[in-house]
Amino acid sequence: MAEKLAKFTTMTKGTAEDYQIIAEASMQHSVNLPDRMIEHLELLKGDHGGFAVDRYTHCLQTATRAMRDGRDEEYIVCALLHDIGDTLAPANHADFAATMLEPFISEKNYWILKHHGIFQGYYFFDFLGLDKNMRDKFKGNPHWKDCAEFCAKYDQNSFDPEYDTEPIETFIPMLRNVLSQTKKSIYKAS
C-alpha cells in the first residue's frame, strides 16, 4: 500500500486532513526513535579518539556503572547516550545529547547532560592550558553537585578495557521505556 502523503507544497496551503496524515506519520516515526538512537550510538564503535576504549564502549561503561550504582532508568539512559553527539557535534556534544533527550527527561538530567562536557574538563583542562575549574562558573546552580557527581562516579572512569561492561541489550528496554513518553514539550511560548 502506498504511503499517504499531504497534498500541499507550502504549509500555508495545508488542510486538517494533510496535518492528520503528517501527525500519524510523526507518531510512527517516534516509535522507531530508540532504534535510530542505537544505530547512531553504534557509529561510535571503533572510534577511540585516542582513549583506551572506543567511544561506544565508553558509553556502555558509563551506563553500566550508573546501573550498578542503583540509578533509575532515566539516569542510566542519559549515561548511555551522554556522548552520542561525539560524531556529529564534537565541539558541543553535550548540548547535542541534552537537546535530543530534553523532551523525555527531567530538568536535572537535562542540566547534567548539557553541562557534563565542561564538568569533565575538571580532569584534563589544565593539561591543555585551560582552567580546570571552569565548571565553577555554574556553582550557583542547584544541579552543580549532580553534574560533578556524574562525571566523578560514571564518566571520567569509564575508559577501562578490563571493566565488565554490560552489552547494549541490557539498556534497550530502558531506552524504549524512557522514550515512550515525553515529559515536556520542546515548543515553548515566548
Catalogue the E-assigned strands of the chain. Answer: none
Task: Determine, yes or no, domain membership for 74.
Answer: yes
User: How many domains are there within the chain?
Assistant: 1
- For residue 103, the domain's CATH number is 1.10.3210.10
Has residue 189 got a pLDDT over 60?
A: no
- Please state, in angstroms and rounded to a whole number, the distance separating the CA atoms of residues 143 and 147: 6
Task: Determine, yes or no, domain membership for 60.
Answer: yes
Has residue 50 got a pLDDT over 60?
A: yes
- Please state, in angstroms and rounded to a whole number, the distance separating the CA atoms of residues 154 and 163: 12
Q: Which burial class, exposed, middle or buried, applies to 13 when counting CB atoms under 10 A from its CB (0-12, 13-18, 19+)?
A: exposed
- Please state, in angstroms and rounded to a whole number, the distance separating the CA atoms of residues 152 and 146: 10
Report pLDDT digits (tens) over 6-19: 999 999 999 999 99
Instruction: Identify whether the C-beta of residue 34 lies closer than 8 Å to the C-beta of residue 175.
Output: yes
